[in-house]
Every structure is written in structure tokens, then in C-alpha cells.
Structure 1
Amino acid sequence: MLLIQRTPPGIFHHPATRLISRRAFTSSRVVRRLALSYDLHEPSPKQDGEQLGAPIVFLHGLFGSKQNNRSMSKALARDLRRPVYAVDLRNHGDSPHDPTHDYLHLANDVETFLEYHKLTEPTLIGHSMGAKVAMTVALRSPPKVANLIAVDNAPVDAALKSDFGGYIRGMRQIEEKGAKRQSDADEILKSYAPELPIRQFLLTNLTRPQGSEYLKFRIPVKYLADALDKMADFPFKDPEQVRFAKPALFVRGTKSHYMADETLPVIGRFFPLFQVVDVEGGHWVISENPEAFKTAVVEFLQQE
């Protein structure tokens, strides 16, 4: 059974989640917390009197959405007998748009999501950008997280592949040229993303606004273009000051460069109880090798 529930777009006004000022990393600033859209996947059929396990919160990567993790969320809910919340991060999917897009604000949105839905001791799973968001939440608020699964990213400052800038340019071209058909958009994008699976992934964000003959991206391309450099950063610099001393699994694609061996000592300083599993595939390892990824996740969580 798939139960879809979506929070209303906008800023939280619940007393526990209103706009607040808090100290974050090294400076104090007002943090704008957004209500995140999500899908809830529960195991089916649910047996009489069955007590489900602790929740899993699944965070997608840059240009992705909760839809990317639908199949994996269903499989994990089924195999682990745990509810899985697949979340749209700000400026993605059905969640609200905001010009501020950095790991501080992304993490605050997720922390608010956990508080608002009263999710205790969840597992956070995040891919790429979502991995850094999950790591940030775990390091900021260890009591709120039971364990962590970071997929193909590390807690380091590391430049994004130049491909991401190309994807942005391609998406802008699609809107500027006024593409009317998916095939027209795909043809424009070929110059920026030769690989068909990547084009298909990016074009999942393409929609036709009501009453318009032109296609538009549902993600705010300009906001995300302005945020690319911030997505390469990691907000914590000194593992002597903050540490997540609970189990953590780092899954990396064997053909990806985002988790080079040189990052492992840094991972170990921030996450001293970490494990690493290599899965055959590239950066989009969840979709490229779903069975191997699922096996790694299930085995890790069944140890707990």
C-alpha cells in the first residue's frame, strides 16, 4: 500500500516550527524553514497488531525529487517493515521555492520535518546533495537521528563535476527557446547531457503550466544555478568540534569520483562508527544498481 501525504507548500506556522533565530555553525542568523512535500510508503499488507520499525527518511540529490526514490522506498518499506518518508527538499519536486539554498537551510527544513511529524530515532538516507543534508542533520542534532546512510558523497568541500553547470545551461536553453514538446527539449539537452539516462532524469522536472503551450521546469533553475558553489561545500570543517558517534553507512559507486579513498580518513573523524560499501555503478548508484544498493542498506539496518 502506498499512502501519499503532502504538506501544504509554504513556511511552517506550527508553534514548534515558526521562524526562529538559532546559532548555526559559526554564526547566528534567522533561518527560513519551509514545509516539505513527501510521500509516505508503508509495508503492505500490515499484519494485525504489527509494530512497524523506526521510520526512514529518504533525501534525493540535486535536480531530483521524491519520485526518483519511489521504487526503492517501496522495497525498503516491504523488506524492513518500516515506514519510509520520501521527501522533496526545498526548490525540488513539490516543495516550496526559496532563493536561499544551502546546507544550513536544507538541514533546518529536514529537522523541522522530523519535529512536525514526530519522527523519533529515524534513519536518514541521502544521495549526493541529500547525503550532505543528512550528514549535516546528524552532526548538528545527533539525538534526533538513530543512524545514517550517505550515498556517494563525503563530508568535504569538493567541486561538483562541470557537468552540473552544463545541465543548468541546457535547462535554461530549453526555457529560452520555448520548447513545446518533450522531444524538442531532449534535442536541446543533448548538447549538454549526451547520456540518455541523465537527460531522462533531468526532464522529469519538465511540466506544462496550465494554459501555456510552452514547457517549463518545476524547479527554480536560477536559484539552483546560483547555489551550485554552495552545493560543493560542507558546513562543518573541524571534526574535533562535532562528531556523530552512531552507526553510519557510506555507499559509493565504483565508477564515481565523489568518495575517493582520500576522503575516508575525514569520514572516520566525523563518523567514527562508519562502514563503507562499494556498489558497482556511477554517481546515480541507486538507479544504476538497485539490488546491490538495497542489499547493502538492508544488511546494515538489520545489524542495528
Structure 2
Amino acid sequence: MMISIRAITRTHSNFKICLLRQFSSQIQTVPLEFDKYEPPLRDPSAPPIVFLHGLYGHKTNNRTASRKLAKILGNDVYCLDLRNHGISPHTKRHDYPAMAADVERFCEEHGLEKAIMMGHSMGAKCAMAVALRRPDLTSMLISIDNVPCRNDRAEREFMDFSEYAQILDYITTRTTPFAFTTIKQADDELAKYESNALVRKFLLSNIIRDQHVLQTHPNDPHALVLKSKIPLDTIYDHMVDIRGWPFSDDDTFEKRSLFIKADHSPFVSEEEIPMIKQHFPNYDFVSMNSGHWVVTEKPDEFVHVVSTWIKEGIDK
């Protein structure tokens, strides 16, 4: 009996998905918080977008771009809080298989089939992980300034990311000679290490003032008023996992993929294109005149690039 190569490939792919589902069942997933942006006029042919933020981010970071994409494309856009971020649950494990398993659970529970997986930075690697693990849940992939390999060229940036966790921990735990009590005080302290006001504002969106402490200890200079919404120790301890890439060269996603490179960022280089091609052979590559924070720095250009690329895929 003759068996076609296509049939063998399909059987292998289905077997791989079954194995990944079995493996995912061994990961303790968490339910993810989300915001949903609906279009004023729905296009039934447009698949939903699952938008994943980067390290220290949360679901509100990309709300402006998400509203615009929903309006232009006529689809639903789901912005998720990944584990240990935003208001999603905290857990000691923080690596890409676990983050991907959370997103896969979210898609299954919300009936999202063939979603467009899109993410920035850490969220980009999570989106890639979902595409590789569960191509049955993924119609397209969009990676914003990250690559499917260890980020060797971004060593300085990951040193900064680790330092941010330490500084935010200091801001929320120092009691002598006095505790920090206002976001302005926290910003002044953070400014000693980070000169970019937009980055500081982004980081400090993870810090809140504890109203209960303010009410119960109104005149106590040592009371810990400022609290971190995210588990800084867990993030610091897993920086190697966040920088890394746990998948083998044999893991591939054959559907359309878009890789957006920020020209003024070390996260993506021409030398890493072979790794993109290895895992995502059906890829397009776009460069933008931006730093690493693409969605914030170039919002209109970003929406144009992404919406145009998605429309091309839907129309084919």
C-alpha cells in the first residue's frame, strides 16, 4: 500500500500534538485575565487575535493598538495577562512551556480556534511556543522584536531587566530610614538607574499604593505602602528561562508567520534569520524604525503593518 509523504507528515503532526497535549496536562496551568476588544462591524472570515505582552507588561499595554486592529480587521482581539503579570495568578514556574500551556487553556476555554497568535518580546516567544506546540489552535503567528533562540545579543538588556526586578523589590521592601510611600518617590529612585521616563512609567505600572496600610498606619514612616502587583522574586529567578529557548530544531510551524524587527534594538539581527527559517519556514520579515517598544513608539505604523499583513493572509 502506498502512503503519501503528506499523509505521513500529517500523521506525525497529529501524533506530536497529542504528545504535547499529554505533556501540557502535566503542567499546572493558571486561568488568565484578559480584556476583549470587539469590532463595530464583524468580518466572519477574520480570525481572532490573541495579543501577548512582554516582560513586566500587562493586558492594558496594547489596548489602543488592539482597538484599532479590531476596527480595521473586523475581528475580536484578546489581550491577556500572562502568568505572574498583571492580575493573573502568581506561580513559581515561569518558562515558555508553562506560559504557552496557559494560553492554550485560555483558547480552548473560550472556543478560540485558529487564532492569530501575536506577542511582543517575552510575549512573542510565548506566541511562538503556542504555534509550535499547538498549530491546531493557531492560524498565523506575529512575533514583535524577538526570535526563536537564546537572546545572546541582548545581554545588556537582560542585565537591565534583572536590575529592574531588584530595584522594584527595593522600592517595595525598604523600611529604613523610611519607606517609599508615593509613586513619585519610587520614580525618583528608579531614575537613578533608568533615564527613560517612558520605561520608568511602564515599570511603575506594576506598583500600587496599599490603601489598607495607608488607613491603618497613616503616620508610620516605616509602613510598606507601596506593593508590587507581580512576584518580582519569581521573575528574577527565571530570567534565564525568559532569555532562553527550550525547543528543538525539529519543532516547526508551517503556516504564515510575520517577524517584526525593531531597527534600534538588539533582539533581532540578520544573523538570526536562519533560526527563524528553521522553525517558521513560511515567514515574512519586516523592519521598523523603532526601539524595542515597537507598539508604543510607532503605534500607527505598527497597526498598518500588522493589519495589512493579516488581510493579505485572509484574502489568499
Q: Pick the TM interval, shorter chain.
A: 0.7 to 0.9
Provide the rounded CA distance (Å) in 2 between the counterparts of 1:204 and 1:64. 8
Tell me the secondary structure at the aligned position of residue 119 of structure 1: coil
Identity %: 38
Of 145, 154, 157, 2:138 maps to 145
Provide the rounded CA distance (Å) in 1 between the counterparts of 2:294 and 2:21. 37
Tell me the secondary structure at the aligned position of residue 251 of structure 1: strand
Counterpart position of 1:278 = 287
Aligned-pair CA distance for 1:21: 8.4
Q: 1:261–1:202: structure 2 CA closer, same or farther, 3 Å change rule?
A: same
Tell me the secondary structure at the aligned position of residue 150 of structure 1: strand
Counterpart position of 2:27 = 31
Indicate yes or no: 2:79 matched with 1:90. Answer: no
Structure 2 residue identity aligned to 1:232 = R
1:226-265 correspondence to structure 2 within 5 Å: 226-238=237-249, 241-265=250-274
Counterpart position of 1:302 = 311
Structure 2 residue identity aligned to 1:221 = L
Provide the rounded CA distance (Å) in 1 between the counterparts of 2:193 and 2:162. 9
Provide the rounded CA distance (Å) in 2 between the counterparts of 1:210 and 1:221. 21
Provide the rounded CA distance (Å) in 1 between the counterparts of 2:26 and 2:46. 35
1:1-304 correspondence to structure 2 within 5 Å: 22-23=22-23, 30-44=26-40, 46=41, 51=44, 53-159=46-152, 160=155, 161=157, 162-177=159-174, 178-213=179-214, 214-238=225-249, 241-304=250-313
Provide the rounded CA distance (Å) in 1 between the counterparts of 2:194 and 2:124. 23
Provide the rounded CA distance (Å) in 1 between the counterparts of 2:266 and 2:48. 30
Provide the rounded CA distance (Å) in 2 between the counterparts of 1:276 and 1:136. 19
Provide the rounded CA distance (Å) in 1 between the counterparts of 2:58 and 2:266. 23
Structure-2-length-normalised TM-score: 0.84
| CA shift digits 1:19-38 (9 cap, x unpaired) | x98336xxxx8311100000
As a proportion of its length, which structure holds more helix? 2
Aligned-pair CA distance for 1:61: 0.2
Provide the rounded CA distance (Å) in 2 between the counterparts of 1:209 and 1:119. 37
* Count of aligned residue pairs for this structure pair: 276
Q: 1:126–1:21: structure 2 CA closer, same or farther, 3 Å change rule?
A: closer
Tell me the secondary structure at the aligned position of residue 65 of structure 1: coil
Task: Give RMSD over aligned pairs.
Answer: 1.6
Counterpart position of 1:16 = none
Provide the rounded CA distance (Å) in 1 between the counterparts of 2:170 and 2:190. 8
Tell me the secondary structure at the aligned position of residue 123 of structure 1: strand
| CA shift digits 1:137-191 (9 cap, x unpaired) | 1011111100000000000012452111121121012112231111000011112
| CA shift digits 1:99-149 (9 cap, x unpaired) | 111111000000000100010111011000000000011011111100000
Larger radius of gyration: 2
Tell me the secondary structure at the aligned position of residue 300 of structure 1: helix
Divergent runs of 4+, >2 A? 20-24, 50-53
Structure 2 residue identity aligned to 1:35 = P
Aligned-pair CA distance for 1:52: 6.5
Q: 1:34–1:224: structure 2 CA closer, same or farther, 3 Å change rule?
A: same
Contact 1:35 1:113 in 2 (8 A): yes
Structure 1 residue identity aligned to 2:280 = F
Q: Which moved more, 1:151-160 or 1:216-225?
A: 151-160
Q: 1:212–1:131: structure 2 CA closer, same or farther, 3 Å change rule?
A: same
Contact 1:173 1:188 in 2 (8 A): no
- Which consecutive residues of structure 2, in runs of 5 or more, have no partner in the other structure? 1-19, 215-224
- Which consecutive residues of structure 1, in runs of 5 or more, have no partner in the other structure? 1-19
Provide the rounded CA distance (Å) in 2 between the counterparts of 1:91 and 1:168. 13
Contact 1:22 1:31 in 2 (8 A): no
Provide the rounded CA distance (Å) in 2 between the counterparts of 1:35 and 1:75. 26
